[in-house]
């Protein structure tokens, strides 16, 4: 019995998975392709008396392409195989036990193509790019943000004051870092109310809408309690460490119907995305998160401290923002059937000197977040925020940072520290 049908033409209703696979010593690509399709659909390691012909015909996966040289395997799964509205169970099939088999030396999910019948089961982002722009009134440029640094350690009152300085200096967004929860030195409730007071003050002084991304990551019941506090306080956003809380929690949270937009931090993703021969690509995770309904998603920077090439990160940005994503040699074509786009977030080791490159690579529908690149300014947070705003102004005007810095002291000092 084989799952290989190289003349099979995938149906529009099939879920497609593109694997990179290395067979164990002494085995070939046909062997490993069969094992992948078998384990991720209806088979197991031996023949089964219970595997009836009608079950086989309706539910078996089909390997429809094998590339011996590049070690690619493409598998089509009938949608009947899955509970379409259950993302955790779908991933348990196509990206579950297959990673633990001895019959595969290394395995990586490069991409998934979701069919319309599955996409229509998911709400997608509540706001997306257009909705976030409506909330903020920022339409003609990227957003600028910062992460409070040090990432943990500041008391709630000091945290709120640092946030105020960032907003007053010219940034749109202030974000908690991924591991700031409700520690004894900075309790969630106190941080929420104090920071929102400073947000109101910054809005009054600047005439600009400001955004606070407060981290509600916690065990699910506590996460919901914190979300209720945020909603009652009138804040427009929450932040969730989406990989850490899991696909089930994220899907359930989105279905709760909260009004706040979801800022998705991807902490821990690299545990499965970084190895080029094993795991799951960030591109694949980004597609899942778009379906599950995040409004903002960290995708990398291509510059700064985080790994990831410009080509890879641009591809992720396209996947979460285009309505019809063209296929190429590394990804499937994907129609999103009306699912809203996601605002991309570039964050990790950025400073004002990086702003032009980030915009060139990722365009305007992004959030450029700088933590140390703001708070590490020689004159402090407010001047660091102003330097970021000046760097973006220069880019939007088509003026080099060096030229603009001649008349903008904050930018000049930032460039002297971070780029020399």
In tens, the pLDDT along 173-205 reads 999 999 999 999 999 999 999 999 999 999 999
* pLDDT, greater one: 293 or 51: 293
Return the minimum-mean-pLDDT range out of 8-17, 170-179, 187-196, 300-309: 300-309
Residues 6+ apart with CB under 8 A from 352: 370, 373, 387, 388, 390, 391, 401, 411, 414, 415, 418
Q: How far apart are CA 57 and CA 241, in angstroms?
A: 40
pTM: 0.95
Distance of CA 388 to the CA centre of its chain: 23
In tens, the pLDDT along 122-142 reads 999 999 999 999 999 999 999
- What pLDDT is recorded for position 420? 80
Q: What is the share, in percent, of the chain residues with pLDDT greater than 70? A: 95
Phi, psi of 177 (to 5 degrees): -85, 170
- pLDDT greater than 70 at residue 220: yes
- pLDDT greater than 70 at residue 48: no
Neighbours of 184 (CB within 10 A): 5
- What pLDDT is recorded for position 310? 82
**Rounded mean pLDDT, 57-63:** 84
Q: Which of 257, 242, 148 is nearest to 199 (CA)?
A: 148
The sign of the torsion formed by the CA atoms of 375, 379, 384, 385 equals: positive
- Tell me the sheet residues that pair with 262: 238
Which residue has 């169970």 as its token pair? 89
Q: How far apart are CA 57 and CA 400, in angstroms?
A: 62
- What pLDDT is recorded for position 335? 98
* pLDDT, greater one: 329 or 232: 232
Which residue has 């297959």 as its token pair? 98
Q: Which of 63, 59, 62 is nearest to 28 (CA)?
A: 63
Task: Give catalytic residues, as residue numbers.
Answer: 149, 265
| Strand ordering across the sheet containing 279-280 | 62-67, 72-77, 15-22, 106-113, 279-280
**Rounded mean pLDDT, 34-52:** 73
CATH of 15-119 given 3.40.190.10, 3.40.50.720, 3.30.70.150, 1.10.3720.10: 3.30.70.150
**Rounded mean pLDDT, 220-237:** 98
- What pLDDT is recorded for position 301? 81
Phi, psi of 92 (to 5 degrees): -65, -30
Average per-residue pLDDT for the chain? 94
Q: How far apart are CA 332 and CA 110, in angstroms?
A: 9
- What pLDDT is recorded for position 45? 53
Q: Which of 302, 248, 220 is nearest to 89 (CA)?
A: 248
**Rounded mean pLDDT, 381-407:** 98
- What pLDDT is recorded for position 44? 58
- pLDDT greater than 80 at residue 56: no
- pLDDT greater than 90 at residue 303: no
- What pLDDT is recorded for position 348? 86
In tens, the pLDDT along 307-330 reads 668 889 999 999 999 999 999 988
> For 26-53, b where at least 16 C-beta lie within 10 A, e where not — what string?
eeebbebbbbbbbbbbbbeeeeeeeeee
- Tell me the sheet residues that pair with 17: 75, 112
Question: E strands, 185-249, where?
Answer: 211-215, 237-241
**Rounded mean pLDDT, 12-29:** 97
Q: What is the CATH code of the structural domain delimited by 128-418?
A: 3.20.20.110
Which residue has 């780029």 as its token pair? 419
Domain positions in the chain are 15-119, 128-418
Phi, psi of 368 (to 5 degrees): -100, 110
- What pLDDT is recorded for position 146? 98
In tens, the pLDDT along 235-282 reads 999 999 999 999 999 999 999 999 999 999 999 999 999 999 999 999
**Rounded mean pLDDT, 322-346:** 96
**Rounded mean pLDDT, 96-109:** 94
- What pLDDT is recorded for position 49? 54
């Amino acid at each position: 019995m084989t799952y290989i049908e190289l003349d099979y033409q995938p149906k529009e209703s099939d879920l497609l998975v593109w694997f990179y696979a290395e067979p164990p010593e002494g085995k070939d690509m046909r062997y490993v392709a069969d094992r992948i399709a078998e384990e991720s659909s209806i088979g197991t390691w031996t023949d089964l008396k219970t595997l009836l012909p009608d079950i086989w015909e309706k539910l078996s996966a089909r390997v429809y392409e094998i590339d011996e040289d590049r070690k690619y395997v493409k598998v089509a799964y009938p949608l009947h195989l899955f509970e379409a509205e259950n993302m955790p169970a779908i991933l348990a099939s196509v990206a579950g036990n297959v990673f633990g088999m001895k019959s595969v030396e290394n395995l990586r999910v490069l991409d998934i193509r979701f069919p319309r019948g599955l996409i229509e089961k998911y709400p997608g982002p509540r706001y997306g790019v257009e909705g976030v722009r409506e909330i903020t009134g920022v339409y003609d440029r990227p957003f600028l943000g910062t992460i409070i640094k040090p990432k943990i350690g500041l008391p709630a009152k000091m945290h709120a004051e640092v946030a105020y300085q960032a907003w007053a200096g010219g940034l749109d967004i202030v974000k908690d870092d991924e591991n700031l929860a409700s520690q004894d030195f900075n309790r969630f409730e106190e941080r929420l109310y104090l920071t929102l007071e400073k947000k109101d003050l910054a809005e009054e002084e600047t005439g600009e809408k400001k955004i606070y991304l407060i981290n509600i990551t916690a065990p699910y019941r506590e996460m919901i309690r914190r979300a209720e506090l945020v909603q009652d306080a009138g804040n427009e956003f929450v932040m969730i460490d989406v990989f850490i809380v899991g696909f089930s929690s994220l899907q359930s949270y989105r279905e709760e119907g909260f009004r706040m937009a979801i800022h998705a931090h991807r902490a821990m993703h690299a545990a499965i995305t970084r190895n080029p021969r094993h795991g799951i690509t960030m591109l694949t995770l980004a597609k899942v998160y778009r379906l599950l309904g995040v409004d903002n998603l960290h995708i990398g920077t291509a510059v700064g401290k985080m790994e990831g090439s410009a080509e890879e990160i641009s591809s992720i940005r396209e996947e979460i923002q285009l309505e019809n994503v063209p296929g190429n040699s590394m990804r499937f074509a994907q129609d999103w059937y009306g699912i809203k786009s996601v605002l991309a977030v570039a964050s990790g080791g950025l400073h004002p000197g990086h702003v032009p490159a980030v915009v060139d690579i990722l365009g305007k529908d992004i959030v450029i977040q700088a933590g140390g690149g703001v708070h590490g300014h020689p004159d402090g947070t407010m001047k660091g925020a102003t330097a970021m705003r000046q760097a973006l102004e220069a880019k939007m005007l088509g003026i080099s940072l060096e030229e603009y810095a001649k008349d903008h002291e904050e930018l000049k000092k930032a460039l002297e520290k971070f780029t020399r």
